[in-house]
Amino acid sequence: DHMRASIDSSAHVYVMTEVDMTRIMNYVNKEGDSFYSKEGFSLTYTPFIIKACVKALASYPEMNASIDENDIIYHKNINIGLAVAVDKGLMVPVIDSCEELNFLGLCRKVRDLATRTRNKQLIPDELQGSTFSISNFGVFNVTMGTPIINQPNVGILGVGAVKKRPVVIETNEGDTIGIKNMMILSLGFDHRIIDGAGGSQFVEMIRENIEKINLENLF
């Protein structure tokens, strides 16, 4: 019913872009064992994506807004709803005030919420108050999708699987073909408040934030 209501109320528009995840994938492969020995769980791509989104949302406050009848409400905090698959359905627990968390804090929050969601240990308040949502269907090896906006949000990011692809690499000596670890991001947004230019610029900023993330000072 919640998804049906979203289709009926929001003017859904989608834009997609490809992201080079090679640097992040190499980093995870290199530091994964050390991270696991310290934290007791695996380092995944999700916190990198959330961090990139939070930085972009700070620059595009209209994407962190909601619509209440005829009013646009701009939210002070960035609360990310993270879609988690459960038996016979989907739940969207919320990470509150992501702008106040460092990278390690995001890693721990993602792990905690995902674990407790699948174990049915969430409290109702943890499923409310999101200002932007992320749906990572890439964990099921899906390349690309068009997720439905989680009301009352005006935007949702769909994250596809990271897959090796031949791509054109520009060098000073000319173009060449190389193998890169690529991922497709799909941004769904409400056209009542976000126009095509704004949505395109937002997802482009997320792409840039992911590809240029400072891996030397994450922790």
Catalytic residues, by residue number, are 191, 195
Q: 10 Å Cβ neighbour count for 197?
A: 8
Give φ, ψ of 41 to 5 degrees.
Answer: -150, 165
Q: Decide if 45 contacts 24 (C-beta within 8 A).
A: yes
Rounded Cα gap, residues 91 and 181, in angstroms: 29
Q: What DSSP assignment string belongs to 145-214?
A: --PPP-TTBSEEEEE---EEEEEEEEETTEEEEEEEEEEEEEEEEETTT--HHHHHHHHHHHHHHHHT--
Burial degree of 152 (CB within 10 A; 0-12, 13-18, 19+): middle
Beta-carbon count within 10 A of 172 CB: 4
- CA-closest candidate to residue 217, choices 104, 108, 110, 111: 104
Task: Tell me how far apart the alpha carbons of residues 177 and 165 are, in angstroms, rounded to a whole number.
Answer: 10
